[in-house]
Chain A
Amino acid sequence: MFKEALYQKVKFRKLSRQDRHSLGLGLAFISPWIIGFLLLTMYPIFISLYYSFTNFTLFTPPGWVGLQNYVELFTRDDKFFVSLSNTAFFILMAVPASVVTALLLALLLNARLWGKTFFRSLFFLPTIVPAVASAAVWMWILNPQWGLLNTSLRMVGLPGPPWLSSPAWAKPSLVVVALWGIGSEVIIYLAALQEIPRDYYEAALVDGANGMQRSLYITIPLVTPVIFFHLINGTIWAFQYFTEAFVMTGGGPANATLFYALYLYRNAFTNVKMGYASAQAWILFVLVMAASLIIMRSSKGWVYYEG
């Protein structure tokens, strides 16, 4: 659909009366979106670029400082680099882990098993839980002393790590929490799996392909478009990861969970350095676009489109 629209040549011939009428009607119907898009998306994107070159603090009018915010972020602000590397680390852990987990769960649900609608609902359930509530529950489960996880580990004689209270374990803990909310991706994979024609597997079976070969050469190639979308969505989501870290760790211990969006929020609304935070926002914007572009570029090599 993207291609179709992009390659569609808008003809600049004089529009007929009918065309002008329907253009007017169409624009009238989408006018709420146009207004919202201009006022709450386009204007903010560009004014935020302007703010990023100022020392705007809410209480004083913005004063032009040139590249100073960017220079400070990249050369003097240690926390900025910490937040950047924390976020990179989180993306590289959480996104692949969620792709693998969601795909495996979907494969499991796709097998002919009794009660799979029940399990599908069960896997989906955590995704509708408010992030703050799931944060509250997981803080308790991950409690080093009395939490469910470590008491269970203790019962089988294993020492439990200190989870959220250690700099080394805090990020992996948050990845576990994120994996709990994988349910909607599972449903998307499951829908893709159910669309694969049965004949493909039967044909492969006749040719003597074993289960491993069938998943490697039929299932995986046919769900690559979904994996591709999951990678893009997941990466964009992980760049903005905020609520769980804000509630559970507040960026600690020792800034181990000071993620990009958290540091940005702090500069904007705690330190009221709106200009500085706008520079952060624009860097985020560029990073998100770059990451999406890289994934899209790479997709030519590994995403399989049927037909």
Chain B
Amino acid sequence: MKAEPVMMRAQSHALRKRSKFWGTLEQIVLYSLLFACGCGFIAPFLTMISTSLKANAQIFVYPPMLIPNPPQWQNYPEAMKYAPFGRYYLNSFFLCATVVFGTLSSNTLIAYGFSRIRWVGRDVVFVIVLATLMLPAQVTMIPVYIIFRKLGWVGGYLPLIVPAYFGSAYFTFLLRQFFRGIPFELSDAARIDGCSEVSILWYIILPLAKPALVTVALFSFIYTWNDFLGPLIYLHDQNLYTVTLGLQAFISRYWTPQNLLMAAATMAILPVLVIFIWAQRFFVEGISITGLSGR
């Protein structure tokens, strides 16, 4: 009876001693793995920036030069001379602003209808919304193009902007998840006081849902900024090109200096990078709320 605790203590002591050694080894292995993966993920960024600051002759040296010396900052204005990236920037920002506005306004209304009002058949209809997430864009691409062509919109921004005003399943889902978490007592109290649904949405739900709205705005900005297939199909005039379309045109030239191309790529990434660094918690939360990567 008395021996048992002593033995247990001895055992656990041995266990701890062994686990300390293995623990340290495990830590070393885990850290080196993490570090190696980290290097793999950041290497493309470093290569891009490093190449963008090299003189043309420094690109083709072996062994490769890691830090350009001296850094060729003039590659950036040079790249802007090659292709009108300032123009593309303005176009992309204009497109993003109008799309973000449409996404926010349409999806808050739709998500409110799917979460804060109880109506017959609501959940069945919402399953249809979710099902559209699985629909490949290629299936609707051609008829939608033909509709916009008949409207005379091909060649302009309207085909890229207008769909945002009819909601999108991913953002509706994200906002609905968030709206559902807001206490229903708040709405009920407001209803008793004679508030209309629109004013409940405006004065009660929206102020409480700010983090979700920011998440939607950021994701919507980034999807629009990054979109390629849409602008590729609908924009033909060089003056209307978005940044991604301009960058693609830059790549597909017969001969493009690699350092200028990397400078252009850096410029294309810069806005989303700044947004990410400024507001990264919203991205992580947005993905965790929906459990969807939304690619």
Contact = CB atoms under 8 A, between A and B. Distances in A.
Binding between chains A and B: yes
Interface of A: 1-2, 4-6, 8, 10-11, 15, 19, 22-23, 25-30, 32-33, 35-37, 39-41, 43-45, 47-48, 51, 58, 105, 108-109, 111, 113, 116, 119-141, 146, 148, 151, 154-155, 180-181, 184-185, 187-188, 191, 226, 229, 232-233, 236-237, 239-240, 242-243, 246-247, 261, 264-265, 268-269, 274, 277-278, 280-282, 284-285, 288-289, 292
B291 interface: yes
B288 A6 contact: no
B120 A123 contact: no
A130 B139 contact: no
Given A43-B143, A123-B41, A135-B251, A19 B138 contact: no
B24 to A, nearest CB: 13
A35 B136 contact: no
A139 B123 CA distance: 46
Contact of A188 (B112, B125, B229, B288): B288
Contacts of A237: 295
Contacts of B30: 108, 111, 113
A237 B149 CA distance: 27
Given A32-B167, A125-B276, A284-B136, A140 B262 contact: yes
B1 interface: no
Nearest to A28: B113
B209 interface: no
Interface string B156-168: 0000000101110
Interface residues of B, number: 97
Interface of B: 27, 30-31, 33-34, 37-38, 41-45, 47-48, 51, 59-60, 62-64, 106, 109-110, 112-114, 117-130, 132, 134-147, 149, 163, 165-167, 172, 197, 222, 225-226, 228-229, 232-233, 243-245, 247-248, 251-252, 258, 261-262, 264-265, 268-269, 272-273, 275-276, 280, 283-284, 287-288, 291-295
Contacts of B287: 184, 187-188, 191
B16 to A, nearest CB: 13
Contact of A15 (B120, B137, B283): B120
Contacts of A25: 113, 117, 119, 197
Nearest to A47: B143
Contacts of B265: 133, 136-137
18 contacts: A22-B118, A23-B121, A41-B135, A44-B142, A48-B139, A105-B37, A113-B30, A127-B295, A129-B269, A129-B272, A133-B244, A136-B261, A188-B287, A229-B291, A247-B228, A278-B143, A284-B138, A289-B134
B44 A141 contact: yes
Contacts of B272: 128-130
A27 B119 contact: yes
Contact of A5 (B126, B284, B294): B126
B197 A281 contact: no
A206 B189 CA distance: 51
B233 A269 contact: yes
A71 B123 CA distance: 41
A134 B124 contact: no
B110 A136 contact: no
Given A113-B31, A243-B228, A41 B38 contact: no
A186 B60 CA distance: 36
Contact of A292 (B123, B134, B273): B134
Contacts of B149: 58
A151 B118 CA distance: 62
B127 A6 contact: yes
B244 to A, nearest CB: 4
A33 B284 contact: no
Contacts of A278: 142-143
B284 A187 contact: yes
B139 A285 contact: yes
Contacts of B163: 36, 40
B143 A51 contact: yes
Contacts of B295: 127, 181, 184, 233, 237
A128 B284 CA distance: 12
B268 A130 contact: yes
B235 to A, nearest CB: 12
Taking each of B149, B229, B252, which has the highest tally of chain A beta carbons within 10 Å of its own beta carbon?
A: B229
Contacts of A123: 37-38, 41
A282 B139 contact: yes
A265 to B, nearest CB: 8
Contact of B138 (A133, A136, A261): A261
Contacts of A41: 132, 135, 140
B114 A44 contact: no
Contact of B269 (A19, A133, A236): A133
Nearest to A26: B119
B294 A23 contact: no
B147 to A, nearest CB: 7
Contact of A281 (B42, B110, B141, B166): B141
Contacts of A130: 225-226, 228, 243-244, 247, 268-269, 272
Contacts of A132: 226, 228, 244-245, 247-248, 251, 268
Contacts of B51: 140
